[in-house]
């Protein structure tokens, strides 16, 4: 029987932020899982990958961004740039050698940004329901003028979420994220192997976002797999099998 560690370890950053994480030792390249917006490291994809990597003897890390799960910080104070710095800190402080980043939704946006920042450390990327630039088309563009005026006035508002707790939307998150947009760039100088998986029935992030990312990658070893009946979370048993199979192929080809 498989048991997960009950209590996560903590990594304290220079600014005092405490990131909670679970790390499993193993062979290189290591695997780092990057969760989605408002998600934490206890989800099905993160724990399935941890189990799979342990059984294979592969090094693995899952962690919570600030304002998420067991990590410190207020969600309303967070930004894409801040979360990106945390991803880089995890790679720099908690891993050795080449790493494969597996990003889900917002985590896939962050994995692309991290690969641009650490090309020598990132061996491959595996993105699920890639939500690059989602603060624009999923947040700002979906607000009517009344909500936009309210957000400008109050700086933070809440919106209903189909995945549980309401979304906390901060104006600073939306404004700061513009510095990290990818889809307005003609190319993304990422040359490692990249695999993108997206469900055609994704009602949150259109699958064409992953196609736009694929078109901009400079890597020739880049593929997009579409799951016809797949939804945004890609957490069904058959989706998790596709995930581990794709990760296995990336590891085996090395």
pLDDT tens figures, 62-75: 999 999 999 999 99
48 found inside a domain:
yes
Check if the beta carbon of residue 29 is closer than 8 Å to that of residue 60.
Answer: no
- Cα(218)–Cα(216) distance, rounded to whole angstroms? 6
| H-only helix segments in 57-140 | 80-94, 106-117, 134
29 sits in the region (left: phi over 0; alpha: psi -120 to 50; else beta) called beta
123 found inside a domain:
yes
Average pLDDT of the chain to the nearest whole number: 95
Q: Which pLDDT band holds residue 4 (cuts at 50, 70, 90)?
A: low
142 found inside a domain:
no
168 found inside a domain:
no
- Cα(41)–Cα(69) distance, rounded to whole angstroms? 7
Which range marks the domain in which residue 231 is found? Answer: 9-131+186-252
Residue 24 tokens, joined: 């499993």
153 found inside a domain:
no
Integer angstrom CA distances of residue 229 from 44, 104, 203, 243 = 18, 18, 11, 15
The number of distinct structural domains making up the chain is: 1
Active site residues: 105, 202, 232
55 sits in the region (left: phi over 0; alpha: psi -120 to 50; else beta) called alpha
pTM of the model: 0.95
- Cα(56)–Cα(65) distance, rounded to whole angstroms? 26
- Cα(10)–Cα(234) distance, rounded to whole angstroms? 28
CATH number for the domain spanning 210: value is 3.40.50.1820
229-245 pLDDT tens trace? 999 999 999 999 999 99
**What pLDDT was estimated at residue 246?**
98
18 found inside a domain:
yes
**What pLDDT was estimated at residue 6?**
75
248 found inside a domain:
yes
97-131 pLDDT tens trace? 999 999 999 999 999 999 999 999 999 999 999 99
Residue 45 pLDDT exceeds 90: yes
162-172 pLDDT tens trace? 777 788 999 99
Burial class (CB in 10 A: 0-12, 13-18, 19+), 198: buried
Residue 241 tokens, joined: 């099998």
| H-only helix segments in the chain | 44-56, 80-94, 106-117, 134, 145-154, 171-177, 208-216, 237-252
**Overall average pLDDT of the 44-52 stretch:** 98
140 found inside a domain:
no
185-194 pLDDT tens trace? 999 999 999 9
């Amino acid at each position: 029987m498989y048991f997960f560690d009950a209590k996560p370890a903590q990594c304290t950053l220079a600014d005092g932020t405490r990131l909670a994480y679970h790390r499993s030792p193993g062979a290189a390249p290591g695997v780092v899982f990057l969760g989605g917006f408002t998600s934490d490291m206890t989800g099905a994809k993160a724990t399935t990958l941890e189990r799979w990597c342990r059984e294979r003897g592969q090094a693995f890390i899952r962690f919570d961004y600030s304002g998420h799960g067991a990590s410190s910080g207020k969600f309303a104070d967070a930004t894409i740039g801040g979360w990106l710095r945390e991803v880089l800190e995890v790679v720099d402080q908690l891993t050795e050698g080449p790493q494969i980043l597996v990003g889900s939704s917002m985590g896939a946006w962050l994995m692309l940004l991290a690969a641009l920042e650490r090309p020598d450390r990132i061996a491959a990327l595996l993105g699920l329901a890639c939500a690059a630039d989602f603060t624009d088309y999923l947040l700002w563009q979906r607000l009517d003028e009344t909500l936009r005026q309210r957000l400008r006035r109050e700086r933070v508002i809440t919106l209903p979420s189909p995945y549980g707790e309401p979304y906390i939307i901060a104006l600073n998150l939306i404004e700061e994220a513009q510095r990290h947009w990818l889809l307005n760039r003609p190319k993304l100088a990422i040359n490692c192997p990249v695999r993108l998986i997206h469900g055609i029935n994704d009602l949150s992030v259109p699958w064409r976002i992953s196609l736009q990312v694929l078109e901009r990658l400079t890597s020739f070893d880049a593929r997009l797999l579409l799951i016809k009946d797949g939804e945004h979370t890609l957490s069904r048993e058959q989706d998790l099998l596709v995930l581990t199979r794709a990760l296995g192929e990336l590891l085996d080809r090395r």
